[in-house]
């Protein structure tokens, strides 16, 4: 998968988002500490991918269903796919 399909944003753009924390997931991959999924108003989901010794990466993905009861399964798959590709690109794993 080509990460250009996903909209990466800067830390400054992330800070400026009107967002709500949806989920935090610890990683089992060396070098990748955890990821935090945020619902960003008018933007979809923003996944903050946190590495042990590298800068965080921020990726926007679509929100296809209103998350009334949490993150929809399809949206979750899109988030997971983007996260996995970023981790692969950054850590080579």
Q: With contact defined as beta carbons under 8 Å apart, do 1 and 89 qualify? A: no
Token duo for residue 42: 């008018």
Euclidean distance between CA atoms 71 and 64, whole angstroms: 10
Indicate the pairing of strand 7-9 with strand 44-51: unpaired
- DSSP 8-state assignment for residue 70: B
3-state DSSP percent of the chain in helix, strand and coil, to 5 = 30, 40, 30
pLDDT computed for residue 5 by the predictor: 61
Q: What is the pTM of this model?
A: 0.91
What is the overall mean pLDDT for the chain?
92
pLDDT tens digits for 13-46?
A: 999 999 999 999 999 899 999 999 999 999 999 9
Of residues 93 and 14, the one with the higher pLDDT is 14
- Give residue limits of the domains in the chain: 3-91
């Amino acid at each position: 998968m080509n990460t250009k399909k996903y909209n990466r944003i800067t830390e400054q753009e992330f800070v400026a988002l009107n967002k709500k924390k949806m989920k935090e997931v610890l990683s089992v991959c060396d070098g990748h500490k955890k990821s935090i999924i945020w619902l960003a108003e008018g933007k979809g989901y923003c996944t903050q991918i946190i590495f042990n010794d590298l800068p965080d990466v921020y990726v926007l993905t679509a929100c296809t269903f209103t998350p009334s009861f949490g993150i929809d399964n399809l949206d979750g798959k899109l988030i997971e796919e983007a996260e996995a590709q970023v981790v692969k690109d950054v850590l080579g794993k």
